[in-house]
Structure 1
Amino acid sequence: MKLILVLAIVAVVAARPEDDLSRYDNFDIDEVINNKRLLKAYMDCFIETGKCTPEGNDFKKWIPQSMEDSCSKCSEKQKILVAKVILAIKEEYNDGWLKLNELYNPGGKYDTSLNAFIEKYGH
Structure 2
Amino acid sequence: MAKMVVFVCLFFVVLIEADEKYTTKYDNIDYNEILANHRLLKNYFNCLLEKGNCTPEGSELKKVLPDALQTDCSKCSEKQKAGVKTVFDHLMNDHKDMWEELQKKYDPDGIYYKKYEEAMKKEGL
Aligned to 2:5: none
Letter of the 1:33 counterpart: L
Give 1:77 deviation, angstroms.
Answer: 1.2
Q: Which has the greater radius of gyration?
A: 2
Structure 1 contact 29–84 (Cα < 8 Å) conserved: yes
> Hey, what's the Cα distance between the residues in 1 that align with 2:70 and 2:26?
21
Aligned to 2:4: none
> Hey, what's the Cα distance between the residues in 2 that align with 1:48 and 1:118?
29
Aligned to 1:37: 39
Aligned to 1:50: 52
Letter of the 2:113 counterpart: D
Per-residue deviation, residues 17-69 of structure 1 (Å, max 9, x unmatched): xx763313322111111111111111111122121111111222343234322
Q: Which runs of 5+ in 2 are unaligned?
A: 1-7, 16-20
SS across alignment from 2:69 = helix
1:27 alignment partner, one of 26, 29, 36 = 29
User: Matched residue pairs, number?
Assistant: 109
1:101 alignment partner, one of 94, 100, 103 = 103
1:112 alignment partner, one of 108, 111, 114 = 114
Q: Which runs of 5+ in 1 are unaligned?
A: 1-6
SS across alignment from 1:110 = helix
Distance 1:87 1:59, change over 3 A: farther
> Hey, what's the Cα distance between the residues in 1 that align with 2:89 and 2:96?
11
> Hey, what's the Cα distance between the residues in 2 that align with 1:114 and 1:81?
14
Stretch moving more, 66-75 or 30-39: 66-75
Is 1:82 the counterpart of 2:59? The answer is no
Give 1:118 deviation, angstroms.
Answer: 6.2
SS across alignment from 1:114 = helix
- Please report the TM-score for the alignment, with normalisation by the length of structure 2: 0.67
- Please report the TM-score for the alignment, with normalisation by the length of structure 1: 0.68
